[in-house]
Amino acid sequence: MKIPVLEIFGPTIQGEGMVIGRKTMFIRTAGCDYSCSWCDSKFTWDGSEKSNIQLLEPEEIWEALTEEGGDRFGHVTISGGNPGLLAHLNELVKLLHEKNMNIALETQGSKWQPWFIDIDDLTLSPKPPSSGMQTNFEKLDQIIDRLRQDQNGTFSLKVVIFNEDDLTYAVNMHQRYPDVELFLQVGNDDLETMNNEKLLGHMLRNYEQLIDLVMESHVLKDVRVLPQLHTYLWGNKRGV
């Protein structure tokens, strides 16, 4: 079954979340059930790059990965869009495991897929109020319950923070799922600038502010607060 792919690149580092710093290849799938106001990959769902979507068999994806990365990688990250929409992604997961790859995947957790349990590093990133999206907590509860029971790898929650409402949302998330590791990530609110130095200073100030708020919290004790390292290194550039 063919998979809609917009980008394959790497190896590079994973710049964020539970395996931050990990040497990895990236596969970016097209299509999303959300349309977050601050999405940094709008091209995956806004139609602007519809003509660039490649429909690829798992074997073809593997060929593209090895063409880019040679034999210099052991980890593949599947991102989107929302790759959790693709019921038949299990075939790619199976193939990558046959090739001895570890697999990370990121999804907002709006839809369950049985193959989630085979993802080595699964990030659920429900979207906070600033996104303009609504979290279906009933569905998220179900997904997290199934992962608690069956997951073969590890999974975590990640919430991007742009403002205090988002932080309140993260607090609720932490109280709802206290046993699930929670990553708070500084939101990038300047996706347009090509002035990397300006962006870096701005993002570091935002990071420090978020740290200050979390350090004051009596509820957010067992959390991790992280930036997007790729933004520090390469600004808003794509494909790095």
Binding site for its own copies (CB under 8 A): 10-13, 19-23, 70-75, 102, 183, 200, 204, 207-208, 211, 214-218, 220-227, 229, 232-233
Which CB sits closer to its own copies, 78 or 133? 78
Q: Is 156 flagged in the annotation as binding?
A: no
Question: Is residue 110 part of an annotated ligand binding site?
Answer: no
Question: Taking the C-alpha atoms of 169, 175, 178 and 181 in order, what is their torsion angle to the nearest 10 degrees?
Answer: 10
**114 is known to lie in a ligand binding site:** no
Cβ atoms of 24 and 10 within 8 Å: the answer is: yes
Q: In sequence order, which residues have a C-beta less than 8 Å from that of residue 87 and are 6 or more positions away? A: 113
Nearer to its own copies, 61 or 214 (CB): 214
For residues 141 and 208, which CB has a smaller minimum distance to its own copies in the complex?
208
| Residue carrying structure tokens 């600038």 | 193
| Nearest partner of 80 among 128, 34, 146, judged by Cα | 34
Rounded to a whole number of angstroms, the minimum distance from the CB of residue 159 to its own copies is 13
Residue nearer to its own copies on the CB measure, 133 or 171 = 171
The token duo for 190 is 């300047």
Nearest to 4 by CA among 110, 88, 121: 88
Q: Give the separation between CA 190 and CA 86, rounded to whole angstroms.
A: 30
Q: Is 39 annotated as a binding residue?
A: yes
Q: Is 119 annotated as contributing to ligand binding?
A: no
Binding residues for substrate are 13-15, 28, 79
Residues belonging to the binding site for [4Fe-4S] cluster are 32, 36, 39
Q: What residues are designated binding site?
A: 13-15, 28, 32, 36, 38-41, 79, 81, 125-127
